[in-house]
Amino acid sequence: MELTSPTEFAKEKILAVQDYTLLAAQSVANLFRKPLYFADMMQQADLIGVGSLPIVILTGFFTGGVLALQTANTLERFGSITLVGQLVSTSMVRELGPVLTGLMVAGRNASGIASELGSMVVTEQIDAMRALGTDPMKKLVTPRVTATVFMLFFLSVISDLVGLAGGLVVAKLLLNLDARQYWSNAVQTLGFADILMGLMKPALFGLIIATVGCYYGMNARGGTQGVGRATTQAMVAASVLILVTDFFVTRFLMLVLSYR
């Protein structure tokens, strides 16, 4: 491994942040310029959204079930086991639904996008597109960003609902709670601020997943080894950025919405 000076290292990282920011901004700006490549957007929506549905459903269901088990163990000590529905709903809608869905989609699609685009870069398909007068950013990046943001919103909603259903199964079968009471508590405890927080995060996470995958894919160098390295870096970077963004977005919304 070649050693670099701290100055050069800092310059490389700042340049990487700058390039990533420009790519993300350009991918959004391309939505307001023709052509829009709707067919590519629909294809990517199918690959990213429908393809991720099974793993999102499994993750949401068992997360809701585990939440019900863990919270029941604590609430039972205080004689408040009937509040399981409230804790499951608020936890899933505010945090776990969007975050876990984002992480699952990042693991599946950020790496996939980086691998696909990286392979096109090292085989010079991107250069061929430019030679034919096609903008790779509009043709390859913008459809993936649009599809990921759009589909992650719905995947998060599905994850929330399935998580509530998983909590219901545990509450009914293992905790002997009334199903109607569980649903009533779960729905009534959710306010506008909770739902807003749960619906804003998927859009940001989707933008992070797609742009990170595209950035590492478009900047892959070094043949097949470079593609593999870009794939790993995209998955790790997207997952870390999702967790970091979640903290700051949650804190910001708590201040704005006056959470107690």
What confidence category does residue 240 fall into, taking pLDDT thresholds of 50, 70 and 90?
very high
| Number of helices (H), then strands (E), in the chain | 12, 0
Q: Position of tokens 């790496």?
A: 111
Region 102-114 average pLDDT: 90
Average pLDDT, the chain: 87
Residue 3 pLDDT grade (very low, low, confident, very high; cuts 50, 70, 90): low
DSSP 5: -
Give the pLDDT confidence of 17-43 residue by residue, as tens digits.
898 899 999 988 988 888 888 888 899
Burial of 18 (0-12, 13-18, 19+ CB in 10 A): exposed
The stretch 138-159 carries a mean pLDDT of 92
Residue 178: which pLDDT band, with cuts at 50, 70 and 90? Answer: confident
Q: Would you say how long the chain is, in residues?
A: 260
Mean pLDDT of 189-209: 88
Q: Which of 231, 205, 14 is nearest to 96 (CA)?
A: 205
Average pLDDT over residues 234-255: 91
pTM over 0.85, yes/no: yes
Backbone angles phi, psi at 109, to 5 degrees: -105, -35
pLDDT of residue 248: 92
Residue pLDDT, tens place only, 214-231: 999 988 887 778 888 889
pLDDT confidence of residue 237: 92
Sequence-separated (6 or more) residues with CB below 8 Å from residue 187:
89
